[in-house]
Structure 1
Amino acid sequence: MMLLMCFIFLLISCHNANGQVSCAELKQQGDLTNGMKTINPEEIDGGNVLVECDMTFDPNDGITVIHHDSEARTLVHDDSYGNQGSFVRTITYTGYTNEQIKQLIQKSASCEQYLEFHWIAPPALRSCAEVKAAGFTQTDSYLLDPDGDGGESAFWAYCDLDVYEDEVVTVVFHDTPYRTYVHGYSDPKFQRVLTYPATDTQLRMLTEDSSYCQQYVDIDCYHNAFITSCHWISINGNEILNWGGVASYSHACPCSIDGSCSSSSYYCNCDENDSTWREDKGYIFNKEELPMKEILIGDTDDSYEELYFRVGPLECKGDAQSTITRGNSCYKVMTEAVTWQEAANSCQRMNAHLVTIDDDDERVYLTKLTQALVPLSSFWSDAECSPVSAGLSFSCDALIGYVCEGDLSEYNHFKKFGSDKSPLEGSLLSSKTAISSGACSLYCERSAICNSFSYNSETHECKMSSERTDSNAVSENGFDLFILETTYKECQMHLG
């Protein structure tokens, strides 16, 4: 939500009117005092009006000032215009007819009005997710400050709050969003630096905090040896040779993944280097290298060689510290490219394991989930050195992404009812092992300080809670009554 402060101080301020119609004539007649005075702009009987005369601002002239009812500061925001689509304010000049104002303007040498606007942006929040959590509902540009006060300066980003029900998308534009023509370059290459409204530090914080980032690139080429003459520079200063959906270290384009390149001999359509307009396009997903900071194009120096390119904005969504749940499992997509053994060790450190593909439905689900990985939809699974991939083969030492899978444990929360049948609740006291919910209740009762408990049937964990620390918490009438309040599932994967 953007705010606009509007000031309309004076609608009409007129100078040098002719005849007995204005403050200018009154000053010519010797009236040099400021204040409210009577004039007759229409020069007719009964046409007198009361106006303010400023006799001192201009030493040679008297200024006629007509006031209206909207000179106070006016705050304009989303809620101030309802369903009209825009803010509307009718300005009323009490005590003046339209004809009187018209005559005054026509008989004056000049008239002017003063209008002032102040654009007020909402306070900078850390992310578009915080923007949504703060109650903003309009997809718009907002000030973001990922590192908070005292660090890097805040920057403007576009928060798409509508595209997904549960997630928001942060979009950071650069200064070259249009289709750009390149011709006449070989050595040196054509060079275009992409400038973003955020510092590199802020951009890195955005990508690191997001679970998924992407940037679209579209290349149209004519007689261009593309893959050997073109590359882009990442935010880390690395020279990247992939053009969407494939590994950063590969000299390839998206068509090489699904086998749709115009020739099986090349990894990009543009590598045909022939007299046909060809296209390579797709999303770059390696968020560790995004956003693109510079693009360099060669092999367009001959008269028949041409190329167009377009680079989309940086788009990020999700929380890098979050997991995705499905059935009785939770998944964490890891975009870091590592060997199979390194991936297995990483998952183990998180109290998880490399994902196990149990059926085709899970394979399809994970393939869609891993669009953020490069090469596209290729990731290590628990099958040793055998990745899930789109028809590609890798050695155990290949560097690709991976998916960790953890277990979802079900927790039951019970609440104890006291002698007056009112629910009691306390803070966590301790955990014990119990063979059943009844045993958990018994332990809780015998602990002498337990007011409630929860029991996990899979881990046999009994968590006891209390708000008292003395033996008087023991019920004198035997076992207390515990009622199941909620059941929830929690991922056992450690992300810290």
Structure 2
Amino acid sequence: MEALRRGDDHAHFTRAGLNDGQWHSISFSAKRNHLSVVVDGHVTAASPLLGPEQIYSGGTYYFGGCPDKSFGSKCTSPVGGFQGCMRLISISNEMVDLISVQQGSLGNFSDLQIDSCGISDRCLPNYCEHGGACSQSWSVFHCNCTNTGYTGATCHTSIYEQSCEAYKHKGNTSGFYYIDSDGSGPLGPSLLYCNMTELFLLESTTFYPVPLLVSKSGITIVKPRQNAELTSDGLLSFFPHFCIQETAWTIIQHNGSDLTRVRNTDPENPHTGVFEYVASMEQLQATINRAEHCEQELAYYCKKSRLVNQEDGTPLSWWVGRTNETQTYWGGSSPDPQKCACGLEGSCTDAHYYCNCDADRSEWTNDTGFLSYKEHLPVTKIVITDTGRPHSEAAYQLGPLLCQGDTKSPQFFY
């Protein structure tokens, strides 16, 4: 804003962004040789005019610009007329009756509509996505994408990658990164840890960790030695046909990673452990759906604490995944009800049962392994009901959700 005086002197005021399509309150005060402007309740400018001259308002006021010279007005302005709407105009703390202006009994007007606002609200509907702030001029709208994590005219394009795999292909090392799994979709980014350090050798369907021998242009090349073999310390063996794939693991933590011991429970008084993750369930689902493989280690330790009531098949402990369905298979097993890893491998403590804990022995044992059926991950709840008998006890520990690969990014095999 600028106040003009006779001659070349100007009193400059700090600019205030008023051309955003929103209503603002503006108060202009001229008292003798002092000018001040208050915008939306905040003093944005105050300036004493130079010289001994004083300001006298007179009896004529112009709003929105100066009239045509044919009216004989001495009003001049270096800028064009105001484009917008005004309301609740008051002079010396007295409200101006604009209907009287319209009827011609108070002042004059030209090139305006009274008792209506003809400006188009270009921010309704709001085309700015992902929380972008919409503002407008008389003819166009603008989206402010600051701190949204998105860019573009309407804050549509995410500034973050959609997976750890994508960050790895750009040459990034292990660390925390914002992951926007659905890209320009409605879900926001989440801060997750990306482990970029693993390297696998693929022979048939088995993965083996191998040392990195040569790395060039982001592509890993492993050269086998003649007649070499895969030793226990992970050295590369000779394979006539092999391929190398660098993998990035997304690690999603939760609030229950510590070992939890459980006593004195029964079906009427169960123990329920609830897990909350660093990302929302919608973000987790998008991450899991995009990944090639996900897994989560669930360790269940038991002493006279069964997973299943063998008399009637009723589950005594179970877990719940993101589909909110009760699951009774345990780590290392396929999604078959009431099965554990030892049952699939035929290595249970008691061959009559499919889980070690169902043997109901007085010494500690466990049923531990990775859950890898993506549609059931992550684990959101675990319920334990069989630690109420004498010398009965259980404990459990849930690892972070681990996801690897990107179904929508190119794979590099050699």
Quickly name the TM-score band, shorter chain normalised: 0.3 to 0.5
Q: Which has the higher strand share?
A: 1
Q: Which has the higher helix share?
A: 1
Q: Which has the higher contact order (CA 8 A, sep 6+)?
A: 2
TM-score (normalised: structure 1): 0.39
TM-score (normalised: structure 2): 0.47
